[in-house]
């Protein structure tokens, strides 16, 4: 849903990307540093119940991580490996955020909410994998009410407000997010099923259906990464 703002986001990030590029830092380094910062904030602060400060740290590094695509574009350092690294690191960051929430909630005795956080983690992985696998098989899967950006915004805003003492907001957000993620998985299954049913001749084993098919999806999970996905579609080698 938030993919519509990509052009505007690109216009904002490109000047910042030029400034960061002058420091000599590579897009891949930005990706790794951003993920490490998110994981540290989530796995150190969230388990201690520091939801507000954890959210602040995570948000800062998420914003920093968004610059990798802008830097890649302005420097021409765009590559399939960069897209692969970015997608993989995003899965690590998502897992850290929801794992940190789960641990913090469990330690606080909120076992039901801890389970909801675990469900959101697993559902998020399935949402991303469903699109990646579908595109590896030659289908399109650009649907979903709760893509990565929406999931992160809901989770982080709710965690931050909970850290400020706003009651029930995190509980509501996690259960809503669990429902939205489930709907998104269903939307993607339905979309791919409709395409497979309409074109059965495309189903038999082919270049996209073997063990290496998942590799063919490369950066397809980046449809949820906003500006980074947009930048990686551009020309030029990223090293």
The whole-angstrom distance between residue 189's C-alpha and the CA centroid of its chain comes to 19
> Longest C-alpha distance within the chain, in Å?
56
* Catalytic member of 65, 68, 86, 90: 90
Closest CA to 26 of 79, 91, 62, 89: 79
Closest CA to 54 of 89, 98, 91: 98
Q: Are 181 and 123 in contact (CB under 8 A)?
A: yes
For the record, the structure tokens of 132 come out as 């990646």
* Known active-site residue 90: yes
Q: Are 84 and 28 in contact (CB under 8 A)?
A: no
H or E element at residue 129: helix 111-136
Query: Which residue's entry shows tokens 């039901």?
Result: 112
Catalytically active residues are 90
């Amino acid at each position: 849903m938030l993919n519509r703002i990509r052009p505007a986001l690109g216009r904002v990030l490109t000047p910042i990307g030029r400034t960061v590029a002058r420091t000599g830092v590579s897009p891949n380094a930005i990706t790794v540093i951003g993920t490490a910062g998110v994981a540290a904030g989530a796995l150190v602060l969230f388990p201690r119940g520091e939801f507000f400060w954890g959210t602040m740290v995570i948000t800062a590094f998420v914003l920093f991580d968004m610059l990798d695509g802008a830097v890649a574009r302005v420097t021409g350092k765009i590559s399939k490996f960069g897209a692969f690294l970015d997608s993989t690191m995003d899965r690590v960051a998502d897992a850290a955020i929801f794992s940190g929430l789960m641990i913090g909630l469990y330690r606080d005795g909120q076992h039901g909410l801890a389970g909801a956080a675990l469900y959101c983690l697993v559902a998020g992985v399935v949402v991303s994998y469903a699109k990646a696998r579908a595109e590896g098989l030659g289908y399109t899967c650009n649907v979903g009410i709760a893509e990565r950006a929406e999931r992160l915004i809901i989770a982080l805003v709710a965690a931050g407000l909970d850290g400020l003492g706003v009651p029930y907001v995190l509980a509501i957000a996690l259960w809503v997010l669990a429902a939205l993620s489930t709907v998104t998985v269903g939307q993607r299954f339905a979309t791919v099923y409709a395409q497979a049913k309409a074109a059965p001749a495309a189903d038999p084993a082919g270049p996209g259906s073997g063990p290496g098919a998942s590799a063919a999806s490369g950066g397809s999970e980046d449809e949820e990464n906003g500006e980074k996905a947009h930048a990686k579609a551009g020309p030029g080698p990223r090293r």
